[in-house]
Structure 1
Amino acid sequence: MLALGLVLAAPATAGATAGTSDLSAYLKARAADAAGRPDLAAASYARVLTASPADPVVAIRAYREALEAGDMALATRAAAVLGKAGVAPADAALLPLADAARQGDTKAASAAIATLAAGPLVVLAPSLYAWVAHAEGRDPEPSLATAAKDPVASRFAAETRTLIAAAPARQPLAIGVSRLLARLASDLAAGEPSPLSIALTQAALRADPRYDGARVLLADALARTKIVDRALAVLDEIDPKGPSAVAAAAERIDILANADRDGEALAAAKNRVDQPGAGAADWQRYADLLLTTGNPAEAATYYQRVIAADGDTGGSWAAWLQYGGALDQAGRWPEAREALEKAVARGPAQPLALNYLGFAQVEHADDIPASIRLLERATRLDPTNASITDSLGWAYHLSGDTARALPLLETAVQAEPTNAEIADHLGDAYWSVGRRYEARYAWRAAVLTAEPSDTARLTAKIANGLPPKARR
């Protein structure tokens, strides 16, 4: 057992050399782990585990890093150490289950399911036993019926019942197990990143290495754990002509964008929209990236394609809102107003559409009374939305009714104290009624979270106040 304190305290003899080497490998493993390099971390932990084959502290780290790196031999080895020490995590039983499923060994699979059923993954047991029964040519219904008392287990059982009904007789156990594990991993993808997601998807692939859908889920789980390069490498393994190719392309773009690798994300998205089979989802994703990276004019052309793809429906209110917003940011206000009016016409009860058109008209000094009516409607529909409250207050202020505006702007700032635009508006309103100290305080608050492009303007306000008749 590798005890860090004992290694550091060992005498400087020939026998201590191995301990020093183990410590070096351990520290390298921790450093690689911190750097998001599970491949290097797993290799180092493998060396440490070889030197300390009974140490559960090393084994649990080796187990997790091995799953992230896809080193299933090391994961199996580490899981065995943890099992012998009686401290194996619940998901360690997934590996023998996956191996048994791949080999079609229903007896070994049943033993692994029994182990899973003793822990938090018990919700999978009825469905897993059902797949075993189906693989053996038995009726799966008695196993599925045991899920009746648990709503989560019942949901998996209902889906399994449908899949088994559509499956060929005695379908290979590997396919059923793989799909079920991936299904749970897909559910977990909506929450916080978890080692369980990685364990489930690796086990799904262990059971059925051809299942690219699990690779997409694995890449997503890795990326959400900030292991981006490994996630991209997993996507590289997916058949570019297979059924998961489109999902893999979309996942790659999302991973790159979320990692702030905008250039690579844009290139990947552009490559996708240039493919013969590209559709509205691809255009939408590319347009969103173009907009967030400062190219609203090009984004507008792709949002327009999304609208055109709706055919006879003429585009949803949300599609027209995005198109109008891109046109507005591109400096094409007359076209933007027309698009935003269509968004409101298609979504007359949508606060976002009402707010965008109302606020944009205010910013362009375009029919402020009509803008106020739009914003009042939006406020009635969503009275707790700070951005809408701010828009209405700002419109009142620009119409000359600052007394009515101030309570709204103050409410909006209290709701979103780090919103620089709202604080900026409140500062302007304070200044216009002679509350100079409070105005500067609001502008100073705005500077703290403002975009760099707004800092100079806000700093000038703090120093000099607003010029006569200035709106901002």
Structure 2
Amino acid sequence: MRARAADADGAVDAAARYYALALAARPGSEVVAIRAYREGLASGDLALARRSLAVLSRAGVAPPDAAVLEFADAVAARRRDRAASAVQKLGDSPLEFLQPVLAAWLAVDGKNPEVALQLASREGDALDRRYASENHALILLATGRTAEGLAAVHAQLGALREDQQFRLAAASLLAGHGKRDAAQALLAGGDPVLVLHRERLGRGPKDDARFGASRFLVRVANDLASEETAPLAIALARAALILDPAFDGARIALAEALSQEGAAAKAREALAAIPAGSPFVREARSAEVTVLARAGDEDAAVRTATALSFEPGGSGEDARRLGDLLAERARFAEAAAAYAVAIEREGAPPNWALLLQHGAALEQAGRWDAALPALRRAVEIAPSEPLALNYLGYAQVERNENLPAAVAMLEQARRLAPEDLNIADSLGWAYFRQGDAARALPLLEEAARANDVSGTVQEHLGDVLWRLGRRYEARYAWSAARLDADEPMDARLAEKISRGLAATGGTPRS
């Protein structure tokens, strides 16, 4: 019970200690062993994790990710036979998609490049192909096929941030083969993370299974970083650190997964282990912002994000992160200033989503005169983006400005995203503002059927129902809206329930 209470508080070190005591008292208990296994991984008590795993394995109930830990232990101990056996266990589990890539890197260790490349070229579903194609390119580099490898790397690269780790892995392999110019070229650009890696590019790691498998497991752990899959992401990140204890990218992935599990102190401990000289140090500070914010330490998160944004080398992404934090805390004027910095740093052409965030923050700060040009520019750049069309259209409807054009925008947004209930609400409200309550009603009823419907939608629906003479239903909708109302909105709704709809004044979106 003490272990469970500590786990619920995110105190994974204490939870692991208590589970270790429970396991010692009940050494054959599978129920205790599975909990001890998870807490051992979360706390970094790998001896407890391995002891628990032995219990689960003897009972035939080891979780699928246990094979990944076995693989890492075997590769680190240079026991290729045991590593191959662990990979084989993945074949009949939900983690089967890990099998071909881990087997391919094991073949690299065995000096079987053709087998490795064949395994990394395995046909499969989209998930198999996604990871296999990346690792096929890295294995080409690792086995000295530089020209083919570079071509394959460039075929995989895109503009998304998730390509960054792949880019870094490829650059490390190139540096290890003496191809520093090619490695530097892969890390070109002004992104502060790439700049750090470019400046601190060493001679490269040994191109073996420890390198390749650790990068692959971290790639998957990052993809799995959500509250539902955090225990698996923790297991993969721990296995990556067993394979390559110097790989700070694995510590960042571990911190993210621990944070998702509510273990904020342990997550910060993982980040604190990254030395100041590491090329991952800037990513670690960015990750710390997320950990602090998720743990509810808002002031510390904002301070850290502010320092990161305004120090030399601060990027547009750093400024945007700060803006997001400030906007979430209703500090809209400051958020707008941060988004303006992000737009300036990112340069031309401006990103429509960033313009939308800037305009929205200005609007929420009460600066409609400054917000309108930013929102219009976002729509000009992205005329087929429903989010931009909806925001600008609704904002103008609320102010009774340019109604025909605003309604046209919302109708276009509706055509582009007919399933979006926020857009259904916006368009229904626009029709109501134009005096067509009958046309508004089905859209607002559709929006109100959502399980997570907002109080604003219910208030809109109540206003329309009242205008159509359905006053009992209107009061019911307004009463429902009070469940999601702040103090000013609640007072307005109470007045409507008492006296009816005196006017069709604006209903601010919550």
Task: State TM-score, norm by structure 1.
Answer: 0.85
Match of 1:206 among 229, 242, 246: 242
Question: In the alignment, is residue 192 of structure 1 matched against residue 228 of structure 2?
Answer: yes
2: CA distance, partners of 1:220 / 1:69: 14
Query: Structure 1 residues 73-82 or 201-210, which shifts more?
Result: 73-82
Spell out, residue by residue over 1:347-387, the C-alpha distance to the aligned partner (whole angstroms, 9 max, x if none).
Answer: 22222222222221222232323322332332333333222
1: CA distance, partners of 2:464 / 2:471: 10
The residue that corresponds to 1:334 in the other structure is 369
The residue that corresponds to 1:23 in the other structure is none
Is the partner of 1:218 in helix, strand or coil?
Answer: helix
Change in Cα spacing, 1:31 to 1:381, as seen in structure 2 (3 Å) is closer
1:90–1:120 Cα contact (<8 Å) kept: yes
Match of 2:135 among 153, 160, 184: 160
The residue that corresponds to 2:464 in the other structure is 429
Question: In the alignment, is residue 100 of structure 1 matched against residue 85 of structure 2?
Answer: no
1:410–1:426 Cα contact (<8 Å) kept: yes
The residue that corresponds to 1:142 in the other structure is 115
1:33–1:41 Cα contact (<8 Å) kept: yes
2: CA distance, partners of 1:78 / 1:377: 58
Is the partner of 1:36 in helix, strand or coil?
Answer: coil
Query: Structure 1 residues 417-426 or 78-87, which shifts more?
Result: 78-87
Map of 1:257-296 to 2, 5 A cutoff? 257-296=293-332
Query: Structure 1 residues 427-436 or 165-174, which shifts more?
Result: 165-174
Letter in 2 for 1:250: S
Map of 1:18-37 to 2, 5 A cutoff? 27-37=1-11
Map of 1:39-438 to 2, 5 A cutoff? 39-117=13-91, 119-136=93-110, 138-146=111-119, 148-151=122-125, 152-153=127-128, 155-167=130-142, 171-189=207-225, 192-313=228-349, 315-415=350-450, 418-438=453-473
Following superposition, the deviation at residue 142 of structure 1 comes to: 1.8
Spell out, residue by residue over 1:323-342, the C-alpha distance to the aligned partner (whole angstroms, 9 max, x if none).
Answer: 11111111111111121111
Following superposition, the deviation at residue 111 of structure 1 comes to: 4.2
1:420–1:445 Cα contact (<8 Å) kept: yes
2: CA distance, partners of 1:187 / 1:43: 30
Spell out, residue by residue over 1:170-223, the C-alpha distance to the aligned partner (whole angstroms, 9 max, x if none).
Answer: 734422232232233233336832432221111111111111111111122222
Change in Cα spacing, 1:348 to 1:154, as seen in structure 2 (3 Å) is closer
Query: Structure 1 residues 47-56 or 209-218, which shifts more?
Result: 47-56
Spell out, residue by residue over 1:224-283, the C-alpha distance to the aligned partner (whole angstroms, 9 max, x if none).
Answer: 222232222222222344222232222222233334332232122112112212101111
2: CA distance, partners of 1:406 / 1:171: 64
1:129–1:143 Cα contact (<8 Å) kept: yes
Change in Cα spacing, 1:97 to 1:407, as seen in structure 2 (3 Å) is closer
2: CA distance, partners of 1:404 / 1:123: 50
Change in Cα spacing, 1:126 to 1:140, as seen in structure 2 (3 Å) is farther
Change in Cα spacing, 1:162 to 1:438, as seen in structure 2 (3 Å) is same
Query: Structure 1 residues 160-169 or 277-286, which shifts more?
Result: 160-169
Change in Cα spacing, 1:339 to 1:130, as seen in structure 2 (3 Å) is closer
Letter in 2 for 1:199: A
Can you give the 5+ residue segments of structure 1 that lack an aligned partner in the other structure? 1-26
Change in Cα spacing, 1:156 to 1:289, as seen in structure 2 (3 Å) is closer
Change in Cα spacing, 1:144 to 1:164, as seen in structure 2 (3 Å) is closer
2: CA distance, partners of 1:417 / 1:123: 35
2: CA distance, partners of 1:124 / 1:385: 36
2: CA distance, partners of 1:436 / 1:115: 65
Can you give the 5+ residue segments of structure 2 that lack an aligned partner in the other structure? 143-175, 178-205
2:264–2:291 Cα contact (<8 Å) kept: yes
1: CA distance, partners of 2:79 / 2:273: 27
1:215–1:234 Cα contact (<8 Å) kept: yes
Question: In the alignment, is residue 440 of structure 1 matched against residue 415 of structure 2?
Answer: no
2:102–2:213 Cα contact (<8 Å) kept: yes
Is the partner of 2:249 in helix, strand or coil?
Answer: helix
2:230–2:258 Cα contact (<8 Å) kept: no
Spell out, residue by residue over 1:17-36, the C-alpha distance to the aligned partner (whole angstroms, 9 max, x if none).
Answer: xxxxxxxxxx3223222332
Change in Cα spacing, 1:367 to 1:244, as seen in structure 2 (3 Å) is same
Is the partner of 1:210 in helix, strand or coil?
Answer: coil
Following superposition, the deviation at residue 343 of structure 1 comes to: 1.5
Letter in 2 for 1:268: T
Change in Cα spacing, 1:380 to 1:74, as seen in structure 2 (3 Å) is closer
Letter in 2 for 1:42: A
Alignment coverage as a number of residue pairs = 444
2:108–2:116 Cα contact (<8 Å) kept: no
Spell out, residue by residue over 1:383-423, the C-alpha distance to the aligned partner (whole angstroms, 9 max, x if none).
Answer: 33222222222223223333333333333323467221121
Letter in 2 for 1:184: V
Following superposition, the deviation at residue 116 of structure 1 comes to: 4.3
Change in Cα spacing, 1:278 to 1:401, as seen in structure 2 (3 Å) is same
Change in Cα spacing, 1:51 to 1:441, as seen in structure 2 (3 Å) is closer
Following superposition, the deviation at residue 154 of structure 1 comes to: 5.2
Following superposition, the deviation at residue 287 of structure 1 comes to: 0.5
Q: Which has the higher contact order (CA 8 A, sep 6+)?
A: 2
Following superposition, the deviation at residue 128 of structure 1 comes to: 2.9
2: CA distance, partners of 1:75 / 1:417: 40
